[in-house]
Homo-oligomer: A and B are copies of this chain.
């Protein structure tokens, strides 16, 4: 992304004129609408979206990850949160009002609409890109003020977006048992037994990572996310996969899905075009018996949800696929371990290289991130990055969601802290790691705060807790040392991580926000990433991906069993940044044992790959601390 595109406002006069025209055009709607809502998601409620789905960015210019635009006959407003106030104000022109979410004086979308709309107005939205629960809330609020919310089937942005990119349809990759541990047929059978248990006749899969996981297929339709656009409808004897049919012409894919020679009737996959999911679901619902129930995620699109008559609809916060996918099997765990070893090799090389190059004054945030990508790409089964690298020097490190751009790009030096939060997709697993380093002499204050963050990281990583504990109950352990000194960080501590899938996934996590997280279970994989950010100065974050494993403490209360974490990330934590006086003996032991593992496991692989300089660096960086 170039600097001009990112930071000068998009001129939207003409676009808004066209959109307002479309809002009155009976080609799209029976009656004119007085407002049109443009949410930021796609039809699958994906966190990252494809260029063809960046409709909110198209209409207002703001390209952050979260934001909703609403256009009325006279006004245009865009809601986003504190991370993006500055960026949004720079990217939007004067036709737009920035609605700063989280500030007391900022009206909600509903209240704003009610305040600006004439009586008895009609508000339109594309029902495919608004979730069913959001539709309900908006619809109720508008109705209480005499307005109504209507579904506009043709997307009005698409109608005026002349050079809209086409929906990607990348090549599908089939994953064998060596990567997945379970055939898609096994997963289908497990899904059906969950359905039978709850007396559910049909399940509608709408989340892209769940569909990719279920069929042991991967794509690259969305940058950083190895997924492909699809829907699936599963009955007790039926499997329907909705996907661009062209993608199924490949022999390996046909064979993988047994499209031509299904082994059993109930495991025969019927394929249909991506767009036909709506009419096919209608057909399924038309033939439902009086007591039959259909499972669909409560985050699925309003359009698809409403196809299912209310009496047959059974919305669930986490689908059985989401829950099954979160608990990794032995093969997936092995794959994740392998991926993290390769990833650590690349990072050890990077840091050894940085140490040599930084004094020359030629390494920048962007070139360091590029070098990290280059080194990762040399590793076996590398596919791509798992998210845009956060490569940040000094004050840029305090911007939590920073991405280096040419106009913000700082040079790495011996005087400033360097924070690198990066990760990759390998066919055997997904990584996500943050290390914070100083290549000169850190100040006492930098060391002190780094050490508090490290204490928090260890407190979570070494925590022992009962089976059935939800991740949010561990969040305060990560903050305790910072809190004791009056410090804190304003983000959660961890998120679920997919296996060669999205780097963020549900249903588990570690956060002070009490979202409806599911209890941690052995085999789940989450990140552990406390931080500290001093505005205008520096940012610190220490992030490992960790695996939930059984623990064996002295007692076993009510036979509940205990859990703890095992780090999958094996990259040294810079000892130079640690004020060891602030660590307890237990914490020092943890660091030394962690570094012993790094040296043993990554050292062997560096040796095998003949990467001598990185090996020397690793050995030096993993010396025990006193």
Give A residues with C-beta under 8 Å from B. 144, 311, 463-466, 472-477, 479-480, 483-488, 512, 514, 551, 553-557, 560, 562
Find the B residue at minimum CB distance from A534. B557
How far, in whole Å, are A483 and B476 apart by their CA atoms in the complex? Answer: 15
- Shortest beta-carbon distance from A589 to chain B in Å: 14
Find the B residue at minimum CB distance from A516. B514
Known contacts A465-B476, A466-B486, A514-B514; 18 additional CB pairs below 8 A are A463-B480, A463-B483, A464-B484, A465-B479, A465-B483, A472-B514, A473-B476, A476-B476, A476-B477, A477-B480, A483-B553, A485-B554, A486-B553, A486-B554, A486-B556, A486-B557, A486-B562, A488-B560
How far, in whole Å, are A464 and B485 apart by their CA atoms in the complex? Answer: 8
- Shortest beta-carbon distance from A99 to chain B in Å: 21
Q: Name the contact of A557 in the complex, choosing from B464, B487, B551 (C-beta under 8 A).
A: B487
* Complex interface: chain B residues within 8 A of A486 (CB): 464, 466, 551, 553-557, 562
How far, in whole Å, are A512 and B473 apart by their CA atoms in the complex? Answer: 7
A475 and B473: CB pair below 8 A? yes
- Shortest beta-carbon distance from A533 to chain B in Å: 9
How far, in whole Å, are A562 and B553 apart by their CA atoms in the complex? Answer: 34
What is the interface of chain A mostly: helix, strand, loop, or mixed? mixed
Q: Which residue among A472, A483, A553 has the maximum number of chain B CB atoms within 10 Å of its CB?
A: A483
* Complex interface: chain B residues within 8 A of A551 (CB): 486
* Complex interface: chain B residues within 8 A of A483 (CB): 463-466, 553, 562
With A465-B483, A562-B483 known as contacts, the answer to whether A557 contacts B488 (CB < 8 A) is yes
B514 and A553: CB pair below 8 A? no
How far, in whole Å, are A476 and B460 apart by their CA atoms in the complex? Answer: 12
Find the B residue at minimum CB distance from A466. B488
- Shortest beta-carbon distance from A491 to chain B in Å: 14
21 residue pairs A–B, Cβ–Cβ below 8 Å: A144-B311, A463-B480, A464-B484, A464-B486, A465-B476, A472-B514, A473-B475, A474-B476, A476-B476, A483-B553, A484-B553, A485-B553, A485-B554, A485-B555, A486-B553, A486-B554, A486-B557, A486-B562, A487-B557, A488-B560, A514-B514
* Complex interface: chain B residues within 8 A of A473 (CB): 475-476, 512
- Shortest beta-carbon distance from A509 to chain B in Å: 14
How far, in whole Å, are A514 and B474 apart by their CA atoms in the complex? Answer: 13
- Shortest beta-carbon distance from A251 to chain B in Å: 47
- Shortest beta-carbon distance from A291 to chain B in Å: 11
How far, in whole Å, are A485 and B557 apart by their CA atoms in the complex? Answer: 9
* Complex interface: chain B residues within 8 A of A553 (CB): 483-486
- Shortest beta-carbon distance from A108 to chain B in Å: 15
How far, in whole Å, are A475 and B514 apart by their CA atoms in the complex? Answer: 13
How far, in whole Å, are A554 and B481 apart by their CA atoms in the complex? Answer: 12
* Complex interface: chain B residues within 8 A of A464 (CB): 483-484, 486
* Complex interface: chain B residues within 8 A of A555 (CB): 485-487
* Complex interface: chain B residues within 8 A of A474 (CB): 476
How far, in whole Å, are A551 and B484 apart by their CA atoms in the complex? Answer: 9
How far, in whole Å, are A411 and B14 apart by their CA atoms in the complex? Answer: 88
* Complex interface: chain B residues within 8 A of A488 (CB): 466, 557, 560
How far, in whole Å, are A560 and B554 apart by their CA atoms in the complex? Answer: 40
How far, in whole Å, are A562 and B484 apart by their CA atoms in the complex? Answer: 9
- Shortest beta-carbon distance from A82 to chain B in Å: 12
